[in-house]
A and B are shown apart, each in its own frame.
Chain A
């Protein structure tokens, strides 16, 4: 039989893996932002600096959800609150 701890740890690892699915969204979003940024630079090369900074800022904000997922994964792997519940 599997011990309780091993079960919780295994499920936590699966949960961490699932949490990292959150990385899909920011990946797509950042890609779209970068694509539009490239199009904007192509249309107006003079405003390159402004476009770059706006794009980076938007990407950073879009990245937040992915980082929430990352934080959850890290917590499940390294600071597991579920073990204490046993």
Chain B
């Protein structure tokens, strides 16, 4: 659990001797002979997903009830603003022609990563501080990049790798580095926040803990989380839209 040293009622010493900010295993299962765990990451992931889907269900009910011939209410306005923002963002970054197709995915990505990053505020261990999560997101981007590359550039998508011929290895490494750097960027930023907060929670006396972590949470969870969310979505859009140019 998150900094279990702090949450442990048995701990009476001023400085906690146990500092944890890793992923804890909760349930052990075996698959194809490998020992695997259901971890705190999955619990946080489930909670974030439930929150998002609950929001979506509520929003859906509002939208279904809404009459297009009437002035929308506040909540409906907010939903429309959200959707329009994603539409405009994708259109601005990927062009009018292709932008709208990716609006749903970018919106999903944005909402998920943002909530996952700021879930540290609510005492969860951020799902994005687990490399398995960010790698999956980056791999989805990787698949999207190359799917669209083959779709719009056909065989030129492959032959571009060998142009100029001397730079072939660098081109290939560059392609492979894209998802790795994207996933490591998000993972590293969120994990560094988690590590810093874990150290603060573990090392400081409890009396000080009432005040000190608030601005740190504000910076690491909210500010850094929002910026990394934006950066991840922007990079996804930029990488995908690079493939639209006809070879």
Contacts and interface: CB of A to CB of B under 8 A. Distances in A.
Direct contact of A and B (CB under 8 A): yes
B227 interface: yes
A78 B194 CA distance: 14
Interface in A37-63: 53, 56-57, 60-61, 63
Given A70-B192, A78-B22, A56 B231 contact: yes
Given A56-B227, A74-B191, A67 B185 contact: yes
B197 to A, nearest CB: 15
Contact of B231 (A60, A70, A74, A78): A60
B107 interface: no
B235 interface: yes
A interface secondary structure, majority: helix
A70 B185 CA distance: 10
A64 B181 contact: yes
Contacts, number: 37
A78 B181 CA distance: 20
Interface string B218-244: 000000000110110011001000000
A67 B235 contact: no
Nearest to B182: A64
B188 A70 contact: yes
B interface secondary structure, majority: helix
Interface in B163-194: 181, 184-185, 187-189, 191-192
Given A67-B188, A68-B184, A70-B188, A53 B234 contact: yes
A67 B231 contact: no
B222 to A, nearest CB: 15
A64 B192 CA distance: 14
Contacts of A18: none
B170 to A, nearest CB: 16
B181 to A, nearest CB: 5
A71 interface: yes
Nearest to B228: A60
Contacts of A70: 188, 191-192
A44 B138 CA distance: 35
A62 to B, nearest CB: 11
A68 B187 CA distance: 11
A19 to B, nearest CB: 12
Contacts of B184: 64, 67-68, 71
14 contacts: A53-B230, A56-B230, A57-B234, A60-B185, A61-B235, A64-B185, A67-B184, A67-B188, A68-B181, A68-B184, A70-B188, A70-B192, A74-B191, A78-B22
Given A57-B231, A57-B235, A71-B187, 12 more contacts: A53-B230, A56-B230, A56-B231, A56-B234, A57-B234, A60-B235, A64-B181, A64-B184, A67-B189, A70-B188, A71-B184, A78-B22
